[in-house]
A and B are shown apart, each in its own frame.
Chain A
Amino acid sequence: MVSRSAAMSQNDARNQVEHALAEIVRETLAARQDIQVPGLGSFRIVHHAATRMRAKQGDMEFTPPRNEIRFTPEA
């Protein structure tokens, strides 16, 4: 823990914070929610509905729905 262990090096403490940050970002996105990281940018889930396309020679192609992670850097 950051404050509990006096012996913990600054690097270890930073690594723990980094992993905790990554874990929160991952969990939030996995729950299909958006998250903003001040000083970095925001992550959001963009949903793409299924599509139907006319391909060559009248073939028809159906693409399944999907979610995309989109990152917008902080200005």
Chain B
Amino acid sequence: MDMDLTHEIARRLGSSPEAVAPLLEEVLQRIRQKTAQGKTARLPGTGIFQDRGAGLVFEPDPGLAEIVNAPFAGLDIITLTQPAQGSETGQARHGRRPGRSMPHASRKRRRERSQEHVLPGIGMIVIVGIIAAGAWFMLSDRTADPAKPDISASASEESVAGDFSAPEDTLPGESEISPALVSPVTNDALAARPELLRGGEDIDQALGGYTIVVVSETSEDLARNAAQGWREQGFRVIILTDMQDGATRYRVGVGQFDLLEEAALTRDALAGGELPRDAWVFRI
């Protein structure tokens, strides 16, 4: 800050710099003397000074440390744990996590388990299909040959499930095996789902989940303007209000994610690029 401290103090006190200068020097000298004696000197509402032999050290009051960190107030450390049986995969350190979300890794494991059951089933269907196609071929051949007994009616009824020539008969089979054809959704893929971040509609607060805070303001107008800017860039936005130190803070969030993991990985992938470097995940 480029200011003449003496002049600024004089201005605030309605005094003159000449009158303030010796008093300011007294204040500073007291701090230097006390700390030189190994004592603690306090600057009211700011912090304490002490000298333990390695030079003057300043420790800010917790209140001041909070003020300089106001834009980041309420942001929690996020830990994404490795998938383990029965464990959740992600959590904010202060335990703010929706109970309704199924942990992603659990969903993945369940999908993998379902594939283990489905894959042998596919083999069986293929084998039955080959046998049925062979039977159909032989029966057609017999029908064409008047010397052979005509058993096509009964045989075709028995082989309906494996009759690949009738598309409508294959539909139930397809619906059974379709889960195996869908690639497991990874965390990375979830992080890249664009519809969570961008879209024509703003975020629905009633649906909850997590968002990525990109702007934090104490002025509602500034927050609204910022939100509009993000909206015009195609992001789904929300303004969340929060009380910090007796003042309302307006946070602009982009994107809506069911899972903490999705939000955290998306933030990690885009912060410093599409999103500000200090963007952070916040509970809606």
Contacts and interface: CB of A to CB of B under 8 A. Distances in A.
A61 B268 CA distance: 11
Contact of B23 (A14, A55, A67): A14
Interface in A3-60: 3-4, 13-14, 16-26, 28-30, 32-41, 43, 45, 49-50, 52, 55, 57-60
Nearest to A25: B46
Contacts of A32: 68
B23 A17 contact: yes
Contacts of A13: 23
A61 B77 contact: yes
A73 B43 CA distance: 15
- If over half of A's interface residues share one DSSP class (helix, strand or loop), that class is named, otherwise mixed; here it is mixed
Interface stretch (B58-66, B146-154, B174-182, B222-230): B58-66
B69 to A, nearest CB: 5
A18 B64 contact: no
Given A17-B24, A50-B277, A62 B77 contact: yes
B46 A22 contact: yes
Contacts of A64: 72, 75-77, 280
B19 A26 contact: no
Contacts of A3: 15-16, 19
Contacts of A17: 9, 13, 20, 23-24, 26-27
Contacts of B12: 20, 23-24
Contacts of A50: 271, 277-278, 280
B6 to A, nearest CB: 9
B31 interface: yes
Contact of B1 (A22, A34, A60, A61): A34
B25 interface: yes
A19 B79 CA distance: 42
Given A14-B23, A17-B9, A40-B31, A59 B79 contact: yes
12 contacts: A14-B26, A20-B12, A20-B13, A26-B46, A29-B68, A32-B68, A33-B1, A40-B31, A41-B56, A59-B82, A62-B78, A62-B80
Interface of B: 1, 3, 5, 8-10, 12-16, 19-20, 23-29, 31-32, 43-47, 55-58, 60, 64-65, 67-70, 72, 75-82, 264, 267-268, 271, 277-278, 280-281
Across chains A and B, which 3 residue pairs bring their CB atoms closest together, nearest first? A71-B58, A64-B75, A73-B56
